[in-house]
Every structure is written in C-alpha cells, then in structure tokens.
Chains A and B, each alone.
Chain A
Amino acid sequence: MSATAEGPVLDIRGLRVTFTGGARPVRAVDDVSLAIARGEVVALLGESGSGKSVTLRSVLRLHPPRKTRIEGTIRVDGTDVMTLEGAALAAFRGKGASMIFQEPMLALDPVYSVGDQIVEAILRHERMSRAQARQRALEWFEHVRIPSPERRLEAYPHEMSGGMRQRAMIALALACNPKLLLADEPTTALDATVQVQILLLLRELQRELGLSMLFVTHDIGVAVEVADRIAVMYAGRIVEIGSVRDVIRTPRHPYTAGLLATRAHGGRLSGNRLPAIAGSPPDLANLPPGCAFAPRCGHAGESCMHEAPPVVAIGAGHEARCVLLKTAA
C-alpha cells in the first residue's frame, strides 16, 4: 500500500471498450490513457458519443460484462479494478471510488428517505452503529450546505428541489471518504443559477478534502470552472490533453480549436455567422481508418485519411493527437 502513496490515484492505461451487444461491435473508447494525481481534478470534455461517460463508467465497472469487452488496465490507488469481482468489487464501489450522476432523481431510490440511503451506504463500508452512521450522514448534509439538515435527512428524493437533490447525492458519494470521486455531468440538468452553486460547492469540497476527481462534461465553461487539466475526447480517443490554460488559450488539435471558436460567447459574434465545424461525429461502429476527425477537419491532408494520428507532445503536459503537429514540431 505504501508504494502507491506517491503514485497517481487513478491510472488508466490503454483502455479500450467495445460494446458487442448490437449487430456490429461498437468501439466506444479506444486507447485511452490518463492519470490523475492526488488532489487533482481532470475534466473529460466531449460531445455525445465521444466516449467520456463510457470511460468514467469503466472505472466503476458499471458496463454489463456480457455485452462489453474491456481491455487495458485501470488502477485506483494501486488497486487493479479489472480483476475485482463480487464482494471485492462491491466494496470498491463507494469506498475506493464513488460517482455523482447527472440525474439524482434517477440515481436515488424513490422509496427510501435520503438519510436512510446514506446510512445504508455508510454501514455497507464502515464498522459503526446505525446511530453513528446517522450522525455522519448529518455531518455530510451540513457539509454540502443543505438547510435544516436534520429534517432533510427524513425527506424522500421527490420532496427535494433539483439543486438540493444534487447536494444530497454529493453527500452520499462522499460519505465513505472515497479515494476518487467520479462526476458524470453533475450540473447539466440544473438551472444556471443552481449550477453555479453546485460547481462552487464541489470546488470547495475538493480543496478542503483534497479530493481527486474525474469530471465528465460537455460544457467547456464548466470544465474551466472546476478542472486543473482538461482532456478532450473525440470518437473514443483523447485528442488533446493539457492544463486548463493551455487547452483553452492555445488549443492545438483542430477539433478543440473548432469547438472553442464555435461558441457564441459574450455577444462578440452577434449578427454574424458562427464558425461552425462542418459535418457530424462519426458512427462508432464504422470509424474511418485514419484520424476520426479528418472528414470534418479543415486542415486534413491525404495522410490523415489513412494513418492513425500519433500523440505529439507540445509543451509541459500538453499533448495532442494530430499529424499536423508532428510536421510542425
């Protein structure tokens, strides 16, 4: 155990996830490697079908095993997640790593009070009495700033507002002090004024507790608010990774650059046309042989259509998967 103290909390290497349930196998995640240091927040940014949520769910092994082929390794604080089975896997979920979902209404059980659900989770992982677990649940409710927490522990999910439910889910996810927090678009279903509150809460808790976090989002603005580093995914691959500043200010992959340019931010483009990325994301069951972005890329050359692009290091910790960067370097 001591050997892992200095290592990354999350270490994903060569992750490849293929769904085999349909007519044709779908390669949802391809050759993803990612490490998260202790106390670090990495945002996994991408559009629908980019593989960001599939990557996240793989860490908890949430994919149905009979219809999914997972290759590569995932280690959380030294534990090889791929080899966990049965009781060991159940013990890992919630304690080794836990997850906040997009829709707390669907993630929470509607027939138990929120307090009971947190107590159950704590008792599953910790050796303590029900009264002690209840006390810990109350402390977490105070921590995530739920007003009148004692009364709220008795509430059922449908009796809470959207923002309150998301706070309760954060309390549930953190109740057993997991080593790694996974967040799957936790603010996407919330209104703007509530989203800011939840983002600020997550950031505060992260700092206070030194949480390591993998945060999946489709919203660049959200990624900028919470993350230390951003990994941009497209068609199952990480196409660019770097510090938030590097990726936002000097994006090097044409997809990242296009995504940033296409945002109507601050009214600067009002009345003009947006510089849109043409086309739509590729079919994952039928990926082009070369760079998956090439058919939509304004800079694509002949080689982009045939060769898988290499990972090119651009600066300290800044990498992108693009042939053009190689010739420039």
Chain B
Amino acid sequence: MAALLEVRGLVKNFPVRTDLFGRVKSFVSAVDEVDFDLHEGETLGVVGESGCGKSTTARLLLHLIEPTAGTIRFEGRTVGTAELPWKAFRRQVQMVFQDSYASLNPRLTVAESIAFGPMVHGLSRREAEARANALLERVGLEPNRIAGRFTHELSGGQRQRVNIARALALHPRVLVLDEAVSALDKSVEAQVLNLLLDLKEEFRLTYLFISHDLEVVRFMATRVLVMYLGRVAELGPTEALYTGSRHPYTTALLGSLLSMDPDRRTDAAPISGDPPNPIDPPAGCRFHTRCASAEPVCAARHPALTVLGGGHAVACHMSEPGSGHSRAAGRAA
C-alpha cells in the first residue's frame, strides 16, 4: 500500500550558540534522520519524552519551521515544489496544537476564527461562516451560543473543540494532533478523544497523534512511533509494540506506566537519570548512556532501523544481525 505521506531523512538543527561574529558554534539536534510513512485512514501515534523531537517533527511536517534537510511526499508528490506547493499541501494537512488559548486569535470571534482559513483559500464570507456554523455543530458546540463569542469566554474543552473545527474547515485529509488533549482535565479529555474518533470515521481522516501519554496513544493509535532524542527508536503496530517492545527505551517507557493497582505498586524505576541534553547528544546510539545493555558498539555507531516483520522495526544493535553486540544474531544469512 502506497503511503499517503512519506517523510524521508528529516533533519532539524537549531543553532544555540554563536561566537562574537554571529557564527554558529553549536546546535540542538532536535530531529535527526527521521523516516516514516503515514497510511491513509490510520492513526500514527508518536510518543517520547520532552526534547525527543515529536513536536518539532509536527512543525517540520507543516513547514512552520524550515527543515535543515529532508523531503516530504504527499500522494507521491514532493511537497514544497511545483508538484505540490505548501499552500496546497496545507489544505490537505492541518494541525491542532496543545495550547488551545494561544492557538486562537483573541480578537476574532469563534466563527471568524474558523472561517478565516476557508476565506484565505477562496470562499466567500457567507459560505465560510455557514461552514463554520456547521462545523461548530459537528464538534458539539451550539452555533447560536458559541459562534459570536471570543476565546477567553470559553472553557478549555470548548476551545479545543473550536480548534478542531478550525482544523477541519478546509476539509483536510490529515490532522496532525500535537498534544491536543494534554492540557485538558481527564473528564473532558475523554469527551474530546471520543469526538476525534467520531470525526475520523465521518470525514475519513488520517491522524498523526502526538502525545506524551502512553495510555491515550494506546487507545487512539493503530501504529506507534517511539522517538528518543530526535531519532526513531522503534515503530510498530500498537499492540505488538505495547506487548512486545524490542527497544530498551520503549521497554523502559512502558515500564514507567503506573499500575493503578494499590497491590502492585511500582517498586523499581526502569531507568535512572534524565534524558541527556539534545545539545551535543551522545555519539552512537543516543540511548546508550542510560541503557543497561549498552556495549562498546553502542557508543561507536548509530544503530540502523531494522525491520523485524509485521511492520515492526527497531533501531537497536541488539536487534540488528551482525552489529557486533553480544546479544545480536550473527551476520544475516
């Protein structure tokens, strides 16, 4: 099956230190050689801790920041070229951000916010406002009560519904949801997750669902991408990954989930320490400084993403035949 969206070799380095003459001295390697596909109709979950590059990946995808390197193809056409200009691409791919307040213009009413995009893309004001009202209804807000309000008059849950309506206003095919429910209370979060599932069916959407919450990702995603310090650590179908993780980092991350059972409290932390600073990240495998199974090869060389079958792939020397790690299989036949 051809992918709807293909991301290849995505790299983003942020300059952090400049010398006296403005020359860059060091970089934050936020996203490094990230490859993934997004298939039509799926929900690809992206998980990882702060600084792992998941939000940067989302922003690069929509060209909100300039990538250092990499290509994005949508239905086989390279985005940002004459084949598919960014503006045309953004009609198809829209984003919902974590901060529902900061992502809406405080001087516009709810209806104006939602109608803004369609008007930029050529709809008349009347048509755009009719579309805004229909979408408000669809995301569970009464247009009569809500359309004329300003964002500060709404609750967090209502605001995030408005953001979802706005993202849908151009009839996109892909929604990038960057921690879209993380700021909401649990009781409201469940309502918005249910809404997202309904909308996905109704409008036949494809989701890139970025979250730090592993339980929520397990609930939403069909496939999961695990990132660590700017790189892909593991990728696979949700249940295969949650029940049979192969990367030590994924295993540690899943081991950090709290049991919710007073008789089975966590008694040991799966890994110690914090994620290292992404300025000058560790050489070789970026996880080797915290990995219990690390060997010299891990510090020397970056592990390639090895396909395990069933759509499951992992970037770990232990799973890479002939890598030189004592737990790896011999050279592949």
Name A residues whose Cβ lies closer than 8 Å to a Cβ of B.
Answer: 47-48, 161-164, 191-197, 199-200, 218-222, 224-225, 244-245, 248, 258-259, 262-267, 269-270, 273-278, 280-281
Among the listed B188, B189, B260, B274, which residue makes an inter-chain contact with A265, where contact means beta carbons less than 8 Å apart?
A: B260
User: In whole angstroms, how far apart are the Cα atoms of A267 and B269 in the complex?
Assistant: 22
The answer to whether B257 touches A225 (Cβ under 8 A) is: no
Mask of B147-185 contacts with A, CB within 8 angstroms, 1/0: 000000001011000000000000000000000000001
Contact flag A276-B274 (CB < 8 Å), given A245-B262, A270-B219 = no
- The chain B residue with its CB closest to the CB of A249 is B262
- B271 interface contact, C-beta 8 A: yes
Q: How far is the CB of A206 from chain B (nearest CB, A)?
A: 13
The answer to whether A267 touches B191 (Cβ under 8 A) is: no
Q: How far is the CB of A167 from chain B (nearest CB, A)?
A: 10
Among the listed B187, B218, B252, B261, which residue makes an inter-chain contact with A262, where contact means beta carbons less than 8 Å apart?
A: B187
The answer to whether B256 touches A262 (Cβ under 8 A) is: no
The answer to whether B186 touches A192 (Cβ under 8 A) is: no
Mask of B240-282 contacts with A, CB within 8 angstroms, 1/0: 0010000000001101111111110111111111110100000
Contact flag A196-B194 (CB < 8 Å), given A218-B185, A270-B219, A281-B185 = no
Question: What band does the interface of chain B fall in when counting residues whose beta carbon is under 8 Å from A?
Answer: 35 or more
User: In whole angstroms, how far apart are the Cα atoms of A192 and B254 in the complex?
Assistant: 9
- B216 interface contact, C-beta 8 A: yes
Residues of B within 8 A of A248 (CB): 260-262
- B215 interface contact, C-beta 8 A: yes
The answer to whether A193 touches B49 (Cβ under 8 A) is: yes
Among the listed A162, A222, A267, A276, which residue makes an inter-chain contact with B190, where contact means beta carbons less than 8 Å apart?
A: A276
Among the listed A193, A221, A259, A269, which residue makes an inter-chain contact with B269, where contact means beta carbons less than 8 Å apart?
A: A193
Among the listed B186, B252, B259, which residue makes an inter-chain contact with A263, where contact means beta carbons less than 8 Å apart?
A: B186
Among the listed B186, B242, B275, which residue makes an inter-chain contact with A191, where contact means beta carbons less than 8 Å apart?
A: B275
The answer to whether B218 touches A267 (Cβ under 8 A) is: yes
Among the listed A162, A273, A277, which residue makes an inter-chain contact with B274, where contact means beta carbons less than 8 Å apart?
A: A162
Q: How far is the CB of A95 from chain B (nearest CB, A)?
A: 31
Q: How far is the CB of A267 from chain B (nearest CB, A)?
A: 5
User: In whole angstroms, how far apart are the Cα atoms of A131 and B157 in the complex?
Assistant: 53
Residues of B within 8 A of A224 (CB): 258-262, 265
The answer to whether B49 touches A192 (Cβ under 8 A) is: yes
The answer to whether A277 touches B187 (Cβ under 8 A) is: yes
- B66 interface contact, C-beta 8 A: no
- The chain B residue with its CB closest to the CB of A269 is B219
Residues of A within 8 A of B266 (CB): 196, 199-200, 225
Residues of A within 8 A of B198 (CB): 273
- B50 interface contact, C-beta 8 A: yes
- The chain B residue with its CB closest to the CB of A247 is B262
Q: How far is the CB of A229 from chain B (nearest CB, A)?
A: 11
